[in-house]
């Protein structure tokens, strides 16, 4: 017997992530597993060959990437950790507080790009940006306009997003129980094509370095490795990752 379709409730993105914060790191999200794998395969090399002095973790969430950056960046580097959700950022702060202390400065910036496209001064003048699984919630012109305000010429950005193939049938969200019924909560969401992302990036001077990397669930054996929620995604590309450089004129 097929499972009943859950009703979907769409609310402002900040509200959705405030509610999601308590379970975000523990709900078996397959896309997050792909995201961690992609980050670990690419970002350490970027940090080694193009070491930044100030890096923006754009959409830091619960600090999955903030913590990795904090552990691996050279001393005297600054991380600017920015997010729209106070609930998610509180988890990130607790995560960093539990780390052995290092001489790596973290500047926390609570900011809603969608409500105010002007990037706060603390987040300007960075020479690298890491932004994973955030773009889905923003219009492309808003997002890349903010990136251009924040990133210095010659700087780089590592960007990931839900693959548009998965986006045909899914959006970022989580399930809550309301009485006898399960409801899926989602924030604002856009299914951006890879072509439209690359075009919007090019319009602000960002040049793709290498190829777009795509990840999904290859087969039943791969699904078993990823967990019980992976079976339904066999044969579907779920994750796209790309690296850009903001060229000097």
CATH number at residue 110: 3.40.50.150
Per-residue pLDDT at 249: 61
The answer to whether residue 135 is domain-embedded is: yes
SS3 string, 24-51, reads CCCCCCHHHHHHHHHHHHHHHHHHHHCC
Residue 2 banded pLDDT, cuts 50, 70, 90: very low
pLDDT digits (tens, 9 = 90+) for 136-187: 999 999 999 999 999 999 999 999 999 999 999 888 888 888 777 888 888 9
Cβ atoms of 81 and 88 closer than 8 Å = no
Per-residue pLDDT at 4: 58
Is residue 80's pLDDT more than 90? yes
Cβ atoms of 80 and 124 closer than 8 Å = no
Q: Taking Cα atoms as reference points, which of 128, 143, 146 lies closest to residue 78?
A: 128
Query: Can you give the residue range of the structural domain that contains 104?
Result: 8-246
The answer to whether residue 226 is domain-embedded is: yes
Is residue 108's pLDDT more than 90? yes
The answer to whether residue 23 is domain-embedded is: yes
d(CA 88, CA 140): 23
User: What's the chain's average pLDDT?
Assistant: 91
Give how far Cα 229 sits from Cα of 34, 151, 152, 223, 233, Å.
Answer: 13, 37, 40, 8, 8
Q: Residue 37, CB half-sphere, CA atoms under 13 Å: how many?
A: 16
CB within 8 A of 72, min separation 6: which ones?
44, 47
Is residue 230's pLDDT more than 90? no
Number of domains the chain is built from: 1
The residue among 224 and 33 whose pLDDT is bigger is: 33
The answer to whether residue 2 is domain-embedded is: no
pTM of the model: 0.93
Residue 1 banded pLDDT, cuts 50, 70, 90: very low
The answer to whether residue 13 is domain-embedded is: yes
Per-residue pLDDT at 117: 64
Per-residue pLDDT at 26: 83
Per-residue pLDDT at 25: 86
pLDDT digits (tens, 9 = 90+) for 19-68: 999 888 887 788 898 999 999 999 999 999 999 999 999 999 999 999 99
The answer to whether residue 1 is domain-embedded is: no
The answer to whether residue 3 is domain-embedded is: no
The answer to whether residue 154 is domain-embedded is: yes
Give how far Cα 141 sits from Cα of 82, 190, 192, 194, 195, Å.
Answer: 19, 12, 12, 14, 14
């Amino acid at each position: 017997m097929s499972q009943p379709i859950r009703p979907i409730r769409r609310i402002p993105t900040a509200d959705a992530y405030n509610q999601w914060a308590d379970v975000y790191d523990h709900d078996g999200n397959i896309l997050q597993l792909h995201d961690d794998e992609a980050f670990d395969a690419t970002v350490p090399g970027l940090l080694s060959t193009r070491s930044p002095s100030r890096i923006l973790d754009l959409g830091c969430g619960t600090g999955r990437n903030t913590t990795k950056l904090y552990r691996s960046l050279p001393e005297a580097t600054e991380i600017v950790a920015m997010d729209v959700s106070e609930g998610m950022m509180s988890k990130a702060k607790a995560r960093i507080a539990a780390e052995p202390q290092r001489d790596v400065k973290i500047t926390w910036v609570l900011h809603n790009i969608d409500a105010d496209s002007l990037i706060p001064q603390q987040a300007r003048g960075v020479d690298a940006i890491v932004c994973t699984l955030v773009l889905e919630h923003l219009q492309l012109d808003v997002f890349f306009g903010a990136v251009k305000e924040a990133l210095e010429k010659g700087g780089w950005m590592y960007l990931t997003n839900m693959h548009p193939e998965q986006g045909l049938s899914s959006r970022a969200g989580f399930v809550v129980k309301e009485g006898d019924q399960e409801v899926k909560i989602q924030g604002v969401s856009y299914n951006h094509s890879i072509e439209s992302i690359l075009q919007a990036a090019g319009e602000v001077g960002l040049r793709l370095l290498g190829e777009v990397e795509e990840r999904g669930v290859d087969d039943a054996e791969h699904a078993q490795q990823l967990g019980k929620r992976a079976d339904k995604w066999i044969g579907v590309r779920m994750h796209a990752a790309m690296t850009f450089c903001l060229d000097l004129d």
